[in-house]
Copies of this chain bind each other. A is one copy, B any other.
Amino acid sequence: MKKLINDPARVVDESVEGFGLAHADLVTVRTDPLYVVRAGAPIQGKVGLVSGGGSGHEPLHAGYVGLGMLDAAVPGAMFTSPTPDSIAPATLAVDGGRGVLHIVKNYTGDVLNFETAAELADAEGVEVRTVLVNDDVAVEDSLYTAGRRGVAGTLAVEKIAGAAAERGDDLAGVAAVAERVAANVRSMGVALSACTVPHAGTPSFDLTEDEIEIGIGIHGEPGRRRVPMAPADEITEQLTTPVMDDLGLGGGEQVLLLVNGMGGTPASELYVVYRRARQLLEARGVTVARSLVGNYVTSLEMQGASVTVLRLDAETTSLWDAPVRTAALRW
């Protein structure tokens, strides 16, 4: 294992410390327990947004803390849920008097720990609502969860709910928008290689030189099937068609298309995937109204990509377009 780290036990702390130093204009890092809050938090009169999860998926979630998106991100150890005693203080820290929305990827540990944290916050008088993201169409249950996994669609929920909070919606309103995005977003990914969790020291699974895993999870957990390596257009079709079918997309609809790199894939390859995914959507009469291509929800250095499609309506489009100022997404 060759990694630019000092010690597997300190990589998250040191990385988040570096993140805080690099982006001091946007965020503040709190330690004991470790979490990242938007500079100036809490924002009085605004619903607070908190997300979090195992580290190793950067820029998710700390990279999305800032104006128009999250108020706090709670990083766990690598591929390990953060604990309630980190999530609860982060929740209290961003309550501006109008309650807090938890955005939770559907993994058993995350769900339980955010639930406990919500109870702790509630006991302190802070109202918490939770939206679950489970956009991965690949498998129904997997190593880390019952039900579908939450993957790159999480970014869309955080961005659009963040914009709703920023414009002043109340907690019920922000939660409703977040639910609507979660209900209309689907993803599926492919791995060309595994990744190595620092404290494990060896790759999380094995793929032969000409094998790929279709439907991979963001922790390297198994997908739908292993198939021989194929041209990018063919692989992209195997990701995009199930996503479109599951969404029940029809002609005349408008979507956001996100082609997400898993961490170790060159940008040039992501645009080759984007090109084909877009062709497939357009062939169905769907208009790609918004696009995003890059490393947004990763699995350390894994090679591969995922295709995420979000069905847009007028309101979610305008919330997507609203200003955002975070380390990893800004316009």
Contact = CB atoms under 8 A, between A and B. Distances in A.
Interface string A270-303: 1111110010000000001001110100101101
A235 interface: yes
A19 B293 CA distance: 9
Interface in A289-322: 291-293, 295, 298, 300-301, 303-305
For the residues of A in contact with B, the DSSP-based class is mixed
A14 B272 contact: yes
Interface stretch (A4-12, A156-164, A175-183, A240-248): A4-12
A58 interface: yes
Given A11-B268, A22-B291, A56-B266, A4 B301 contact: no
A7 to B, nearest CB: 8
A81 interface: no
A68 interface: no
Contact of A22 (B236, B271, B330): B271
A254 to B, nearest CB: 15
Interface string A194-233: 0000000000000001101000000000000000010111
Given A266-B263, A268-B56, A301-B303, A278 B18 contact: yes
